[in-house]
């Protein structure tokens, strides 16, 4: 009596092709991903129904923390150097190539000009710690923010957009102070950075 033996089948799926596809996709997403610059102080932006995306290129972002520190981010390295040079001329400073490289490395500008030279000589790690305690002076006698904005506008032309990013709990006078500075410089159009929330239904 010969029993019919069930054939033992090997269920081995070849994953090589699948792996090829995923690696390809992964490469694509890695190359297209643009990482946001690391901010010295984390801010939680308010929500809005606006669906306009932040412009990709040529944007100046002004970051206002709840404590009133002001940081500036310029997304073009060439502009950053040009602006630093102009600022240096105003304050009678020249910067070495090494200092300029350090300046480009930092995502945000947020150091009073008086301390800029010493600050840029430091190592990156200690710079990151230092910038958290500082900010661009915005008071009326020593309004360095106005100078930074003026030079940034001069260097990058009319197309540069200004974005304002601030925390939900930032008191209004601090925001209004920065806006007043900008209005004095005839900069009247800004984009307020917000997170998306859904449009209420039925409208």
Partner 1 sequence: MAEIQQSGGEAKKGKPKKQLLRVDFTPMVDMNMLLITFFMFCTTLSKPQVMDIAMPADEKITRDEDRPDVKDSQTITLILGENDTVFYYDGAPKFDDYTSLKVTNYSPEGLRAYLLQRNQFIVDEMRELRKEKLENKRMTDEEFKQRSKEIKDNKAHRKVVIIKPTDESNYKNLVDALDEMQICSIDVYAIAGMTEGDRFLLNNYATRGEYGKNAVQPKK
**Which residues contact partner 1 by CB under 8 A?**
12-16, 18-19, 22-23, 25-26, 29-30, 32-36, 45-55, 64, 163, 165-173, 175-176, 179, 182-183, 186, 188-196, 199-200, 203
CB of 84 to partner 1, least distance (A): 26
Rank residues 48 and 96 by Cβ distance to partner 1 and give the closer one.
Answer: 48
Rank residues 40 and 120 by Cβ distance to partner 1 and give the closer one.
Answer: 40
Rank residues 129 and 184 by Cβ distance to partner 1 and give the closer one.
Answer: 184
Q: Are 191 and 162 a contacting pair, CB within 8 Å?
A: yes
Residues in contact with 164: Cβ distance below 8 Å, sequence separation at least 6, in sequence order: 61, 62, 64, 175, 178, 179, 190, 191, 192, 193
Residues in contact with 34: Cβ distance below 8 Å, sequence separation at least 6, in sequence order: 56
CB of 28 to partner 1, least distance (A): 9
Q: Are 104 and 81 a contacting pair, CB within 8 Å?
A: yes
CB of 30 to partner 1, least distance (A): 6
Rank residues 3 and 186 by Cβ distance to partner 1 and give the closer one.
Answer: 186
CB of 117 to partner 1, least distance (A): 33
Residues in contact with 160: Cβ distance below 8 Å, sequence separation at least 6, in sequence order: 58, 59, 60, 152, 153
């Amino acid at each position: 009596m010969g029993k019919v033996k069930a054939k033992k089948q090997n269920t081995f799926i070849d994953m090589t092709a699948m792996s090829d596809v995923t690696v390809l996709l992964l490469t694509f997403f890695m190359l297209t991903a643009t990482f946001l610059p690391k901010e010295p102080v984390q801010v939680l932006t308010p929500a809005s129904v606006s669906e306009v995306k932040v412009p990709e290129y040529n944007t100046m972002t002004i970051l206002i923390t709840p404590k009133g520190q002001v940081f500036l981010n310029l997304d073009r390295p060439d502009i950053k150097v040009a602006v630093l040079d102009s600022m240096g001329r105003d304050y009678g400073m020249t910067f070495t190539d090494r200092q300029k490289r350090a300046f480009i490395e930092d995502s945000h500008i947020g150091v009073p000009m008086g301390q800029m030279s010493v600050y840029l000589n430091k190592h990156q790690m200690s710079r990151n710690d230092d910038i958290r305690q500082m900010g661009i002076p915005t008071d009326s006698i020593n309004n360095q923010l106005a100078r930074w904005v003026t030079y940034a506008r001069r260097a990058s032309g009319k197309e540069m957009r200004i974005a304002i990013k601030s925390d939900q709990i930032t008191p209004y006078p601090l925001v209004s102070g920065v806006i007043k500075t900008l209005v004095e410089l005839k900069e009247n159009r800004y984009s307020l950075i917000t997170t998306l929330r859904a449009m209420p239904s039925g409208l």
